[in-house]
């Protein structure tokens, strides 16, 4: 049984190598959360015949939250289509929510995609672009209510698939979403092969990855830290 499954999976993988090329476009911006983009990149770049394009307002160094540098090789003026569009999140997203150049670009790219996706607060940018209106969607847990401002039905879930729009919760959920995306855009066998390739088998040392699971004391400490950071930015 196991041998038959392995043979089938290998055959499927070999067939996949002959499929049409896949254009994956990932938006980068200053103040983004690095893993929101890098996690999905590790999954999607392993799809045979895929090519990943890192895109930003202008090409060059992008400073992520915490100071890590990523490099964008293309400006949004150079990329006008995608098979997969991925919008990461992070505190820098707030600087883009009223940027008409970015919003128009996302709306135009969305008309060409097979799937339009987001990680964490990247969903807010999809919302600001009008893409989440009348859609079920998710985002980082303490930003869920904001999705309703964009006409979305807010769902608390690791990821939500609604037509060709897939949104995911905070940071690490982007990996879950990307593996599901591989299954949708190619097949489940390839998705499982890639999951194995990155040894994605989470077993965290603490059961504290959700506000429903962490203690009330720790949740209060976290929320006070977030509120303090926000108040300092407003000054």
Residue 20 and residue 22: Cα distance in Å, rounded? 6
133, 155 Cβ separation under 8 angstroms = no
Alpha carbon distance, N-terminus to C-terminus of the chain? 64
Helices (H), 111-215: 122-128, 173-185, 188-197
- Rg of the chain over CA atoms, in angstroms? 18
Among the listed residues 24, 27, 32, 120, the single catalytic one is: 120
The secondary structure element, H or E, covering residue 47 is none
| Residues contacting residue 33 through CB under 8 Å, at least 6 positions apart | 64, 65, 88, 89, 90, 119, 120, 171
Closest Cα partner for 90 from 142, 149, 30? Answer: 30
Catalytic: 3?
no
235: exposed, middle or buried (C-beta count within 10 Å: 0-12, 13-18, 19+)? exposed
**Positions marked catalytic:** 120
């Amino acid at each position: 049984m196991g041998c038959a499954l392995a043979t089938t999976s290998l055959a499927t993988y070999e067939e996949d190598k002959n499929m049409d090329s896949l254009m994956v476009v990932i938006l980068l911006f200053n103040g983004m959360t690095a893993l929101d983009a890098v996690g999905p990149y590790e999954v999607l770049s392993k799809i045979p015949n895929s090519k990943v394009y890192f895109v930003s307002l202008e090409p060059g160094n992008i400073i992520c939250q915490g100071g890590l540098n990523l490099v964008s090789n293309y400006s949004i003026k150079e990329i006008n289509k995608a098979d997969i569009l991925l919008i990461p999140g992070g505190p820098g997203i707030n600087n883009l929510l009223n940027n008409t150049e970015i919003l128009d670009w996302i709306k135009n790219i969305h008309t060409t995609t097979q799937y339009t996706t987001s990680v964490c607060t990247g969903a807010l940018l999809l919302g600001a672009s009008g893409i989440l209106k009348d859609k079920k969607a998710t985002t980082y847990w303490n930003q869920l209510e904001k999705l309703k401002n964009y006409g979305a039905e807010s769902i608390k879930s690791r990821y939500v698939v609604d037509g060709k729009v897939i949104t995911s919760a905070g940071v690490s959920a982007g990996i879950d979403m990307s593996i599901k995306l591989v299954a949708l855009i190619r097949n489940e066998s390839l998705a499982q092969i890639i999951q194995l390739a990155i040894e994605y088998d989470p077993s965290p040392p603490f059961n504290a990855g959700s506000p429903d699971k962490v203690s009330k004391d720790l949740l209060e400490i976290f929320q006070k830290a977030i509120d303090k950071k926000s108040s300092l930015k407003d000054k």
